[in-house]
Amino acid sequence: MARRFWLMKVESAVFSIHDLKKAGSTSWDGVRNYQARNSMRDDFQVGDGVLFYHSSSDPSGVAGLAVVSRAGYPDATAFKKGHEYFDPKSKKDAPTWFTVDVKFEQAFAHTITLETLKATPGLEQMLVTRRGQRLSVMPVTEAEYRIVCDLARKAQG
């Protein structure tokens, strides 16, 4: 299967690209949206590229790159009573929620802001630039991924 590309949003105060760099890799648990879950369960593959997006940040935007290091598997936080992501309806033999593991690849010297993404030719159809797109996990095209990487290289100087 061909390599795919994704944008994954997280609040930088909760877990930033620098936290991922320190950890090396992490599971992307706690996703509780069915559309995002379906992508993680069915579509994410080892080696897929990830644009690591800081949301609710100043500034919000793509802060770096990661790579999928483990394809979709049941999200263990759904089974832990007392955990903020516990779901009593999710069963180990029939899990509702899934996660993937992502591995740090690169932190950008400067965040590629949402405003920059919106103003960049070739990114007009990128889901994160559209109004009402609030998913924490969304696909990006290879061309969009490469344009964002080029913007990061140019921002380095």
Residue pLDDT, tens place only, 69-127: 999 999 999 998 988 888 889 999 999 999 999 999 999 999 999 999 999 999 999 99
What is the rounded distance in angstroms from the CA atom of residue 108 to the CA atom of residue 65? 8
Six-digit token pair at 88?
């009593």
Q: Taking 80 as the threshold, does the pLDDT of residue 41 lie above it?
A: yes
DSSP code, position 20: H
Q: What's the pLDDT at 155?
A: 85
The matching CATH number, chosen from 1.10.10.10, 3.10.590.10, 2.40.50.320, 1.10.150.20, for 5-151 is 3.10.590.10
b/e for 56-74, b at 16 or more Cβ within 10 A?
Answer: ebeebbbbbbbbbbbbbeb
User: What backbone phi and psi angles, to 5 degrees, belong to 4?
Assistant: -110, 170
- Residue 96 Cα distances to 44, 56, 71, angstroms: 17, 27, 16
